[in-house]
Amino acid sequence: MMMIIFLFIIGTMAGSFMNVCIYRMPRKQSIVTPPSRCPSCGARIPWFDNVPILSFLILRGKCRFCKKRISARYIIVEALSGFICVLLFLYFGLTAKFFILWFLLSALIVASFIDLRFHEIPDIITLPGIILGLLLAGLYPPLMGKTGHLSSLLNSLLGILAGGGSIYLAGFIGEFIFKKEAMGGGDVKLLAMIGSFIGWKLAIFTFFLAPFFGSLVGITLKIKHGREIIPYGPHLSLAALVAILYGEQILRKLFFI
């Protein structure tokens, strides 16, 4: 129990840094300097106002200095990061696979919340992520459920091609049919990055599962707000989480493998 509490706290601290990335990356700002500041008044945030989750609750979601409301996204990201950290620990223990997949899902959280706000997924997340996933698969075969370095590397490479290729093909067909862009290039690179970490089978599983989440959200937004375009990154990320935790079991039951 103490380990779970500890990892949740560590996860929320990572979430605090993710919030910095979510705010600054789309604005082309450094994620290192300057120190955290209020986006409304620019006042530097002292350390005691920067404690994940607790500070938001104590301040009632407002800046100490200008009293402007702080986006609920900050506490949501911190809590989500803590929850995912614990969830991965319960599934994989304190293994190398736990740390690698925690990194992947952290990157997906950042990409998803940027996509929700700006309808874009920065290349600074996906392109280095693709390369890193490929390298880690070659160095650590258990990431792909393999014992050989070459077979693991090949699975990662096929994951990149299957992930990026499936989204690209879907976008091409959608654009041909509807005469407008159906998928953005950021989505292509995001699923390619996911595939580099989880391999081709789970990348394809993610591709087919994501529209289920997307349709639920899309129908709701269409009815409530009349919106035609929805960010697809969060749905790919959610589908990737399901693939990581349950994908292998689901595929075995579906295809008896």
Q: How many CA atoms within 13 Å lie on the side-chain side of 30? A: 5
Task: Compute the C-alpha angle 135/12/143, nearest 5°.
Answer: 25
CA atoms of 45 and 54, how far apart (whole Å): 14
Structure confidence by residue, pLDDT tens digits, 207-238: 999 988 876 665 555 455 555 567 889 999 99
Residue 182: per-residue pLDDT: 61
CA atoms of 46 and 37, how far apart (whole Å): 9
pTM of the model: 0.92
Structure confidence by residue, pLDDT tens digits, 135-186: 999 999 999 999 999 999 999 999 999 999 999 998 888 776 766 666 778 9
**Contact (Cβ atoms closer than 8 angstroms) between residue 114 and residue 224:** no
Q: What are the boundaries of each domain within the chain?
A: 1-94, 121-257
A 10 A CB-CB count for 84 gives 21
